[in-house]
Amino acid sequence: MDARGDRRPGRGGTARRQGRRGSGRHPQPGKAHPVRPEPTRRPVKDVTVLTNPAAGSGRAAGVAGAAVARLRELGVRTHVEAGTDPRDALRRARAAVDRGVDALVVVGGDGMAALAVQALAGTDVPLGVVPAGTGNDVARQYGLPRGNPGAAAEVVAAGRTLRVDTGLVETADGTSRYFVSVLAIGFDSLVSDRANRMRRPRGRARYNIAMLRELAGLRPLPFRLVLDGGREVIARDLALASVGNSRSYGGGMLICPDADPCDGLLDLTLVDAMPRARLVRFFPTVFTGGHVRRSEVTTRRTTSLRVESPGINVYADGDHVGPLPAEIRVVPRSLSLLVPD
């Protein structure tokens, strides 16, 4: 799903980061990492549940019913909303926040969670997630119950709240969007562009076909990246670049395996341009996070970033945002999230 967030200029300060190319670590000067926040308890007695019945190939409707039933058993007043499209769903999410609910709960995949973040970032209203999508990377990051809507509802009712970072990206066309997981630029965004243009097949098969077609025309992508307002400039050909507030995207691909959504920093993973056959062998290592030990990979941590590359679009949490160049920054502890014990 796609939605527009607030339009705000990107700014960033300095903080301690680590850069890494291959297996070597290169500490860089700056402030120490902030102390990790402790979860707090808050009463959750009145929630709005926002559903996407199409998520998880249609499984979300049944998941929503089970989660709502469990919430009501636990004494939580539950109002159910289903948007007719992403814009309507975002309007309903913002209206729920304005009403002053104890939590906004989404039933669906990462797209639904990302949509809710556009309404919740910068507020004290927490996000609850009942996973019902295909990727569920938000659930993976925070240990939320998958495949058990009753248990996910119990997490909401328990009210254990963690304050986490978000990222904020503004693209060349003026679109501004918060993200909670990973921002993708490069080969993976070209694959998403192609998949979005295809009418069939449906589901993950369409993405796989799009990937094979993009591999056939693979070319080096010239990038220029400016970290922390000029602390470091990287200009070279890449296959892809990913900016992680958390570790994974695409249903468990650990593209930024060391990312911590509570450290006030964004993790940057850069993969050098390489021959097609080598890139095919490279991709499986992303599922384990082992790719960051390879010589073709550079990692950095930063509070802000400017990215330039002609003809490349930005995808945040799996959704299209807009074209490069883009300004990206971390927004520390800007989102409340309901998490398990």
Instruction: Give the pair of three-digit tokens for residue 216.
Output: 């056939």
pLDDT recorded at residue 311: 93
Q: Give the whole-angstrom CA distance, residue 263 versus residue 330.
A: 10
Cα Rg of the chain (Å, integer): 19
Q: Which residues does 81 contact at the CB level (< 8 Å), separation at least 6?
A: 48, 49, 50, 51, 89, 92, 93, 96
Instruction: Give the pair of three-digit tokens for residue 165.
Output: 């970072």
Catalytic residues: 319
Please answer whether residues 45 and 101 qualify as being in contact, where contact means their C-beta atoms are separated by less than 8 angstroms: no
> What's the one-letter identity of residue 31?
K
CA distances from 7 to 77, 170, 173, 178, 305 (A): 33, 7, 11, 10, 17
Which uninterrupted H or E stretch holds 203? none
> What's the one-letter identity of residue 321?
V
Could you read off the pLDDT tens digit of each residue along the chain, which spans 341 residues?
444 444 333 333 333 333 334 433 333 433 445 566 788 999 999 999 999 766 655 677 889 999 999 999 999 999 999 988 889 999 999 999 999 999 999 999 899 999 999 999 999 999 999 999 888 999 999 999 999 999 999 999 999 999 999 999 999 999 999 999 999 998 888 888 888 888 888 766 777 788 788 888 888 999 999 999 999 999 999 999 999 999 999 888 899 999 999 999 999 999 999 998 898 899 889 989 999 999 999 999 999 999 999 999 999 998 999 999 999 999 999 999 999 98
Q: How far is CA 303 from the centre of its chain?
A: 16
Q: Is 279 left (phi over 0), alpha (psi -120 to 50) or beta?
A: alpha
- Phi and psi at 254, nearest 5°, equal -85, 65
Q: Give the whole-angstrom CA distance, residue 87 versus residue 91.
A: 6
